[in-house]
Structure 1
Amino acid sequence: MKSVRFSRFGGPEVLEIVDVPDPHPGPGEVRISVRAAGINASDWKKRQGLMDQELPQTMGYEAAGVVDELGEGVTDVLRGDRVFGFAASGGAQAELTVLSCYAPIPPSLSFAAAAALPAAAETAARALDQLGVESGATLLINGASGSVGSAAVQLAVARGTLVIGTGSLATHDFLRSLGAEPVAYGPGMSDRVRALAPDGVDRALDVAGSGILPELIQLAGGPEHVLTVADFAGAEQYGVRFSRGDGGHALYVLAQLGELIEVGKFTLPVGQTFPLADVAEAHRVGESGRVRGKLVLLPG
């Protein structure tokens, strides 16, 4: 089968489409014929050698497609079912991949829209859990219009939380449509937040990593009420929790998304799709930050 791989670190030009052996599912897993695979910022960080140091590496951890092989003990899906989920061992950006955690694709979603969901939704749900976000709380999300930020807005609103979201003026109508009260980032942001929440906020989530942690700490009443998924150095400097997957997952969210989507309470826009062969261009577009919404590869 065809798969995205790199054998040396560097720019998008190191990415190759290569032939690799077909994978097979283990107990509790399913193999899918991949129709769409999500692209994340971690992909180009891996490619640049900023994360894992092993070589070669195949790419991708989230995909959507059609089940074509069942692992031992799998009884909740059948061959031919449409599913989306996580490929824990990687290699989702390929013609075939094994999903270790999966859920049915909601009837209203395309494969591309489904492939955009897993990483952003899991990261958002995990962050909300670790922050202890509950009904009746006021949550400030810095960087609310991106994939993880908009997922966090909608999941928090579904919990009964009042959400204030920072974003550029061009994103404010979008943030309102998700259920957030938008505020512009930049100088004076704290004053704009306090105009909506005079006593500050109960919790603050940093998705953008824009060096704003001191302001979030002040607004939330202490570093223990702030979490970042994007600013590791700032988290260490200011005593803020940094959320990462190895500290526990929120995989349960995959099963919850279907109902939220079908009743119109969750959406995650796809920014642009690319054929598998154009993965290098997808990385260039992603790193440029020109496209709002998830980038997705379409293997077939």
Structure 2
Amino acid sequence: MPKAVRFDEYGDVDVLDVREVPVPRPAAGEVLVRVRAAGINPGENSIRLGLLHERWPATFPSGQGSDLAGVVERSGAGWSAGDEVAGWVDTRSSHAELVAVPAEHLVARDPAVPWEAAGAVFVAGTTAHANVRAVAAAPGDTIVVAGAAGGVGSLTVQLLRHAGATVIGLASETHHDWLRAHDVTPVPYGDGVLDRIRAAAPQGVQAFVDTFGSGYVDLALELGVPQDRVNTIIDFAGAARTGVRNEGMAGSANAEVLAELLKLIASGDLEVPIAATYPLTEVRAAFHELMRRHTRGKIVLLPR
């Protein structure tokens, strides 16, 4: 029997188990995929803790995971057995060896795209794509990204550069060389960050993307950034209080955008940094690392 991540109650990472489960039965329009790689995301951590119960309640026993890449196990719904694919599910089930995926949620994996990147790009990549759109990034803009080396931030800064913007990335100093290598001006966190941003952007800041929280909405407004050009994907309370944007991945969460991102990865124009990989059986360790909030890029589960 295949294995999958399950939890029976809200709680810390110790509620996660890897269990044998029945082989998923694809419904009409679905395809059975053997998962090669599946990214993990902060939202999954919040759901498991019960922090998003009112918005996205869990039904127990619950699975986990949206992102995935793998190989079609059985022909159907326009796909053939052996096809290599990347995609996503909305059923919290990709942290598993086998998963049933709607056919329209899959795109072909170019062999030039590593499995780890293909299996980790959907949530972070479409959120980054939405960030660029939300702040109306354009050539000549100077845009600050808080959490510039994280799973979403590392992709956001690259897509902003593709849009022609000058980018300032707030990140720990251990990530500054990576940011410089991607033509992003690094600025360290901590006391005095406002002055450091102003020094790095003497002509001012036109837009701000917050992927970290912890007061960066207020900092953006103090920099003089207009409300409609500030987007936070994490500080819901700050957005409600100040009127800045709080646009997540919804408008970009589709197969067309995923295919666009995969094309950029295949051509070498977009890097998905992989912070670490773990076998499925070490899912608890993977989430412990994610919760440290100091990784560069994505953490990925490898079911096989």
TM-score (norm 1): 0.91
Distance 1:276 1:214, change over 3 A: same
Contact 1:41 1:286 in 2 (8 A): yes
1:165 counterpart SS class = strand
85-94 or 259-268: bigger deviation: 259-268
What SS does the aligned partner of 1:121 have? Answer: helix
Contact kept? 1:205, 1:228, Cα under 8 Å: yes
CA distance in 2, matches of 1:290, 1:121: 19
Q: Structure 1 stretches of 5 or more lacking a match?
A: none
Counterpart of 1:59?
64
Matched, 1:68 2:69: no
Cross-structure match for 1:14: 15
**Contact 1:164 1:183 survives alignment (8 Å):** yes
Q: Provide, for residues 180-225 of structure 1, a one-character-per-residue CA deviation record: whole Å limited to 9, x for no partner.
A: 1212222222222222322322211001112121121132432221
Q: What is the CA distance between 1:32 and its match in structure 2?
A: 1.2
Q: 1:166 to 1:153 in 2, by over 3 A?
A: same
* Distance in structure 1 (CA, Å) of the matches to 2:180 and 2:211: 18
How many positions carry a matched residue from both structures? 296
Q: Secondary structure at the match of 1:242?
A: coil
Distance 1:49 1:293 in 2: 25
**Structure 1 residues 20, 267: CA separation in 2 closer, same or farther (over 3 Å shift)?**
same
Q: Aligned residue for 1:49? A: 50
SS at match of 1:34: strand
Deviation at 1:144, TM superposition (A): 0.6
**Residue 116 of structure 2 is aligned to residue 112 of structure 1:** yes
Q: Does 1:167 align with 2:171?
A: yes
Provide the identity percentage: 39
Instruction: Provide the rounded CA distance (Å) in 1 between the counterparts of 2:173 and 2:144.
Output: 17
Q: Secondary structure at the match of 1:36?
A: strand
CA displacement at 1:289 relative to structure 2: 3.4
> In the TM superposition, what whole-angstrom CA distance separates every residue of 1:261-293 from its partner, at most 9, and x where no partner exists?
233221112111111111122222222335433
Structure 2 residues without counterparts, runs of 5 or longer: none
How far, CA to CA, are the matches of 1:201 and 1:46 in structure 2? 34
Match of 2:87 among 77, 85, 88: 85
Whether contact under 8 Å (1:64, 1:111) holds in the other structure is: yes
Q: Which residue of 2 aligns with 1:99?
A: 101
Q: CA deviation at 1:92?
A: 0.4
Match of 2:258 in 1: 254
CA-atom RMSD in angstroms: 2.0
State how far apart, in whole Å, the 2-side matches of 1:180 and 1:27 are.
46
